[in-house]
Structures are given as C-alpha cells and as structure tokens.
Structure 1
Amino acid sequence: MQLAEERRQAIVDAVEQDGRVLAAELAQRLNTSEDTIRRDLRELDAAGLLRRVHGGAVRRAPLPSFGERAISELPRKNALAQMLRDCVRPGDTVLIDAGSTNLAFARLLEDGQAATVVTNSPQVALALGEFRRTRVVLLGGTYNAAKGAVMGAWTLAELQGLRADLCIVGVCAIDPERGLATEDAEEATIKAAMLAGSARSAAAVLNERLGDSAAFLFGRLTELDHLVLEADAPPDTIARLRQSAPGLDIQLAAKVRA
C-alpha cells in the first residue's frame, strides 16, 4: 500500500513536471479515490507546494511584487473599479483594503465623493494625497511590501475601533461554497476585522480569482453586499454564487476591448 507521504510526493512531482494535474487522473494513476486526492491537494496547497484549482492543481508561480501587480491588467481592473464607484454614497466613511484592483478604484474616486477614506495601503493614501474635501486616514502597523499593506496587531487594534459605512475588501480567492479567502493568516485576520467593522461591503474580483483556492478563509459570501465581476465571468460560477448568497448584488463590469 502506498504511503500518504509517497503519494503526496508523487503529486508534487507530477505538478512540477507537467505544470497542471487533474484530480481524476491522479486518482486513477495512484490507485486511490478522488476524495483522497482532493484532501492531499488541500494539504499540499496549505503547505505552499502547489496551488489547488477547480478540478486539480497547478504549479505555484512566484508571487509578483505589489508594484508589478499594480500596473498589470489595468484595463480589466479599471473596468471593475468603475463599477465599485457606484457603491459609494455621499457622506460615507469608506474603508479601502490594500490590493491592486482597490488601488485602481481609489484612483477613480473624486474629491468629496466620500467624507472619509480609511486604508491600510500607503499606495491608496498617496493616490488620494491631494484631496481636500475628503479626509484620508492611513492606518498604522508594520508595512508588508509584498502585500502593499500595513498589518499586524497595531493595524488590527485600530480597525476594531473603527465603524465604516462601506468596506472595499480585497479578495484573493472566492468560492461559492467556501467563501472569501486569502493566502496569509495575518492578512485574513485584518480582512475579517474590516468586514466586521463595516455596515456595507463590496469586492471586485478578476476571473482568475473565481473558484481559486487560498488557504485562509476570512468571511462568508453572505457577508458581502456587492460583488463586481468581469463581463466574461463564467455563467455557471455566477449562478453558483447567486445560489449560495441570494441577497448578494452581483454586477458585471463593462467588457474590456482587446
């Protein structure tokens, strides 16, 4: 009988060699059940040895720097950000989470559109630095360059004393069954506090984040009020999202021209 360690090493080797594997094929190749393979993939994903996706797993690519992410896929992110602007009401205190799509959203805001913007992203604060009618508040904490965010106990304490009207939360992965997730445990704690301290919440998600797997959950799908997706988001995924959270307002951004 094949040991679990041997089986998992075989899975890692297959991913490294082929770049992508399917759970059904692995189950047949390793003479075990798909449930066992899916459990292996979850554990290997959590250990950072691969990235679990719907139906299997792919090789885990190095995470681009925040600066690289901030300038990549800008037309797609701007289309999502444009829809997020409609969530802001006059007089709102808006809490903007770090993230490249959220930075695109901040750059589209007009001075005075919100009463106050609070953020854990120095880049977002700098993007709004010339505002005069909107107060801009940068949370304290330890700066994480890879995330482009301040994090840690100081950040969490300030969030727990805040009551925002609207939270624009960053989402690394969204799944109709699992909910909202991210790759970092500390980041998940910060995001959960943002949702808990806000009257309304919204997120904008690129297609590659849909059904994607991330190790640390920070919220249920029903905790979101608004979700903005790309125009060509898979219809079956949209249907599953609506089934899991019937009250969730899902909107599609304008189609980005090639």
Structure 2
Amino acid sequence: MLQEERQNIIINQINLHHKVLTTDLSKLLNVSLDTVRRDLHELEESGRIVKVHGGAVSKSFHIPFQQPRVYAREEKREVAHKALSLFKDGMNILMGGGTIMLELARIIPKNQKGTVFTVSPLVALEVAQRSNIRVILIGGEVSHDAYVCTGPTVISQLSELHVDIAFIGANGLSVKEGLTDHDWDVVQVKKALMKAADKTAVMCISEKLDISQKLVVNPLRAIEALITELSPTDKRLQKYSKSMKVL
C-alpha cells in the first residue's frame, strides 16, 4: 500500500472516530508501528491531525471552540435538530460529549425550561452561553482525548441522578454488540449516564452504524431511541428499528 493511501485511511479513521490508536492502525494497515508513527508525524506536520499519547485525534475534536472544519458537520447538525425534538420543558436532561453533542448544545432554545446535566465542559459552556436553561457540570478528571470528565467522582455523582433522558454519542453501534467504544474510562461514564436516565437516545452519523469497538457499553435493548441523519425509513435502519425508535 502506498504512503498516500495509508494516510488517507488514517485520516478517514480519525474523522470517523475522533481518536485512533497506533496499535489499531498498525493492524488495520498491516504495517509496523514505526511506519504508522512516521505517517502520523507527517500528518501532524502538515496540520491535518493532532498527535496524542498512543495515537492521534482530529483537529476538530482537539480545538472545537476555534471552529476548524468538523467532519460530517451537516449530517451532525441534522442529527442535532432531530434530537432537539425530544426536549420538553421541565425535563432533566443528561448530555455526553463529542462534536455531535456540541451541535445539539448550540441549538437549544434560549427560553428552554429545565436542567441540563453534562460531563462535558465544552457542552456546558455552549449551552450556558446560548440558553437560559439551568446547566450543571458533572466534574472530575478531564480526559485529554475525549474532553469529558471521567473517573470515580463522576461515576459517584451520576449514581445520585435520576433524569428523564440521556443523549449519548456513539463510536460504534451494531445489532450484535450494541453500543461500543475504545476508551475504558469513557465506557464507564457512558454506562453511568445510561443508568441515571429513564430513557437513552444515541446520536450518531450513519457511518458509525454496524461498527464495533473493543469495549461494550450496553446492548441494543438498553437504548430507547437512535438518531441519525438518515430518514427513519432508510433500509440501513430497519434492523435497528426492531429494537428501538429511530429518528
């Protein structure tokens, strides 16, 4: 495989999952770790990615407030507008993190009534500056890769909550494995988010469907709604609609 082909695959994986691990790329591309590290170094030098310990993240995820090019932004905006239809005045709402959640945070109406709890400092700031809704940040150690609060303090705080609905992003979703992710700390937070809510809505672009990451968050039956940019009647959603509401 040519270097340009490898680097295009790396960029696609980073755009899709926000973060990739060097070891996973080595297996995917069937090349040595040193080759992957050289590719990542060149991609960072050209300003296309940001290297982190053990891998790389997308620039849109690394500096979201500087408004760089966000991967699949229009699709994420469509998902966000659909998710907003589930908001009702007076609700207690939990929100996870990620670029798709930031799009939702940016369109919450100024006069929305209720409370938003979130583990994402970025989401909390977006909601607070654009809406009069009450915002409570669930605080803890801030992940350098995911920009959400993680750790035992966060899990403890979430265990004391009982909210109407939790909105969670997806790194992978499949009928067989359910909701999955590659970060152990983030998985524990997502589990706690879902446990604290009467209902869970998963927000993701369609490229995340039929993908399984290494760690399982919860099976499909734990999810009440799936929100993508696709029409609810799209054939790609048929197998998911058997287990949950699709928007």
TM-score interval (norm. to shorter):
0.7 to 0.9
Task: Give the distance between the partners of 2:157 and 2:100, measured in 1 at CA.
Answer: 23
* Structure 1 residue corresponding to 2:24, chosen from 49, 62, 71: 49
One-letter amino acid of the counterpart of residue 110, structure 1? P
Which moved further from structure 2: 75-84 or 132-141? Answer: 132-141
Task: Measure the CA separation in 2 of the matches of 1:114 and 1:197.
Answer: 20
The offset of 1:196, in angstroms, is: 0.7
Q: Give SS of 2:180's match.
A: strand
- What are the equivalent positions in structure 2 for 1:239-250 lying under 5 Å apart? 239-243=238-242, 245=243, 248-250=244-246
Aligned to 2:95: 96
4+ residue stretches of structure 1 with deviation over 6 A? Answer: none
Which aligned pairs between 1:212-251 and structure 2 lie closer than 5 A?
212-231=211-230, 235-243=234-242, 245=243, 248-251=244-247
Alpha carbons of 1:110 and 1:235: their partners in 2 closer, same or farther (altered >3 Å)? closer
Aligned AA (2:236):
T
Q: Distance in 1 between matches of 2:147 and 2:21?
A: 22
Is residue 98 of structure 2 the alignment partner of residue 67 of structure 1? no
- Measured in 2, the distance between the counterparts of 1:232 and 1:131 equals 29
Normalised by the size of structure 1, how large is the TM-score?
0.70
* 1:119-139 superposed Cα distances (whole Å, 9 cap, x missing partner): 011111111223674110011
Q: How does 1:49-198 map to 2 (within 5 A)?
A: 49-50=24-25, 57=28, 62-65=56-59, 66-67=61-62, 71-72=69-70, 73-130=72-129, 133-198=132-197
The SS at the match of 1:63 is strand
* Distance across 1 between alignment mates of 2:95 and 2:21: 27
Q: What residue is the counterpart of 1:211 in the other structure?
A: 210
User: What's the offset of the Cα at 1:46?
Assistant: 9.7
Amino acid at match of 1:103: L
What SS does structure 2 have at the residue aligned with 1:111?
A: coil
Unaligned runs of 5+ in 1: 1-13, 20-44, 252-258
Q: Which one is further off, 64-73 or 84-93? A: 64-73
| Displacement after TM superposition at 1:51 (Å) | 8.7
Per-residue CA deviations over 1:184-225 (Å, capped at 9, x if unaligned) read 111111101100110111122112211112111111112111
- In the alignment, residue 84 of structure 1 is paired with which amino acid? A
Report if aligned partners of 2:109, 2:131 keep a CA contact under 8 Å in 1: no
Sequence identity percentage: 20
TM-score normalised by length of structure 2: 0.73
Following the alignment from structure 1 to structure 2, what is the Cα–Cα distance between the partners of residues 238 and 89?
A: 25
- CA distance in 2 between counterparts of 1:125 and 1:17 reads 39
Kept in 1, the 8 Å contact 2:106–2:130? The answer is no
Q: Per the alignment, do residues 167 and 47 of structure 1 end up closer, same or farther by CA in structure 2, a change over 3 Å counting?
A: same
Output the aligned Cα RMSD.
3.1
Give secondary structure in 1 for the equivalent of 2:129.
coil
Quick check: 135-144 or 63-72, which moved more?
63-72
Structure with the greater alpha carbon radius of gyration: 1
SS in 1 for 2:128: coil
Specify the SS of the correspondent of 1:49: helix
Instruction: Tell me the secondary structure at the aligned position of residue 226 of structure 2.
Output: strand
Q: How much has 1:177 moved relative to structure 2? A: 1.1
Residue 112 of structure 1, CA deviation: 3.7
Q: How far apart are the structure 2 equivalents of 1:187 and 1:106?
A: 20
- Which amino acid in the other structure matches residue 245 of structure 2? D
Secondary structure in 1 matching 2:80: helix
